[in-house]
Amino acid sequence: MRAVLLGLGAVGLSLLTLLERTDSPCVPGLNIDIAGVADSSGYLVGKQVIGVHDLVKAKRESSLSFLPGFIEGGRARELIETAEADVVVDCLPTDYSDCSESRECMFTSLKAGRHYVTASKAVMALHMKEALEKAEGNGVLLKFGATVGGGTPFIDFGSRCICPGTVTSLRGVLNGTSNYILTRMAEGLTMQEALSEARQRGIAEADPSNDLSGRDSAAKIVILANWLCGTSLTLHQVRTRGIETLSSGEISEAGRRGKVIKLIASYRSVATVSPEEIDINDRINVSGSLNALSYFTGSGDSFTLSGEGAGGESTARAVLRDLAAVHLEAGPRRTH
């Protein structure tokens, strides 16, 4: 399967590193060849397969511009239109104020009859209904398991392990950065101390505003509710309050009552994100950067899944899982 890779940040570079390893978790018969790659400086396209080792080495040591055939300043859309590929993989940075590049790339790919695998939460939270309709209309697959939960398959679990169409509500901890900060504050750190530590450990980004404001969690609950509950929400419809104003005193007071404060994303007729006190025995009470999600069905059943929710490699594994799904569901199809 020939793939175009957009974005060589933490997720994109981690994906290439996984492909470089012989023990990558792939299905039998799945071979992923890189037909083109784009980053913020331009793109590289080749009629022959581009060596993964060369890409990783060039990106880590200098830039892609030193590789033969690199187009300085070239746009990702141009790469999609030029490269001979079966699937486009979107690992572009998430930008909730302007996801126009991801949207342009996604719709260009779908219109051209190429499958699309994305890790971009913003484009799915803002344009999910339109994108799914476009993919179906063009007979291609749109996979977005990497947008929620990193390496923990919250989307696949809900759609494959629970009877389809039966999930009516959702409730969970969906942001690893804010959960790590709240966990450490409960252990005595201030918010700034916890944030600084999270940055040092690679859990928090340089600009953590999307995590602390609840915007990241809001995007994830939109994607989950739309896919599992059949809604047509967009990011702007989520009632969102973050953790920025929480004090250490509030965290301590909750602890004295046998409670913990978590940033809870939920859907039950309406979607909300806000800090809430929950019991310490609640199934979604996970610590550190872990995520947890409870699924509730119309028949009264409930299921909870938890796992690692932050980090470039865990998200890259989810992308790889989606690529394997494309391979299995679409078969050996060539676009060109």
For 165-206, what is each residue's pLDDT tens digit?
A: 799 999 999 999 999 999 999 999 999 999 999 999 988 888
Superfamily of domain 154-308: Dihydrodipicolinate Reductase; domain 2 (3.30.360.10)
Question: What pLDDT shows up at residue 335?
Answer: 38
Mean pLDDT of 293-308: 94
Query: Is the per-residue pLDDT at 130 higher than 70?
Result: yes
pLDDT digits (tens, 9 = 90+) for 91-123: 998 888 888 889 999 999 999 999 999 999 999
d(C-alpha 195, C-alpha 182), whole Å: 10
pLDDT (tens digit per residue) in 240-270: 999 999 999 999 999 999 999 999 999 999 9
Q: What is the β-pairing status of strands 42-50 and 70-72?
A: antiparallel
Q: Is 194 annotated as a binding residue?
A: no
pTM score of the predicted model? 0.92
Give the start-to-end residue ranges of the domains of the chain.
Answer: 2-150+313-330, 154-308
pLDDT at res. 336: 33
The answer to the question of whether 8 is labelled as a binding residue is yes
134 in a known ligand binding site: no
Q: What is the pLDDT of residue 331?
A: 66
d(CA 251, CA 184): 10
Q: Is 59 a known active-site residue?
A: no
Residue 255 marked in a binding site: no
Q: Which of 59, 134, 143, 220 is catalytic?
A: 220
Torsion 319-321-325-331 (CA) sign:
positive
Tens-digit pLDDT profile for residues 133-169: 999 999 999 999 999 988 899 999 998 888 767 999 9
- Residue 137 marked as a ligand binder: no
pLDDT at 313: 85
Second-level CATH architecture of 2-150+313-330: 3-Layer(aba) Sandwich (3.40)
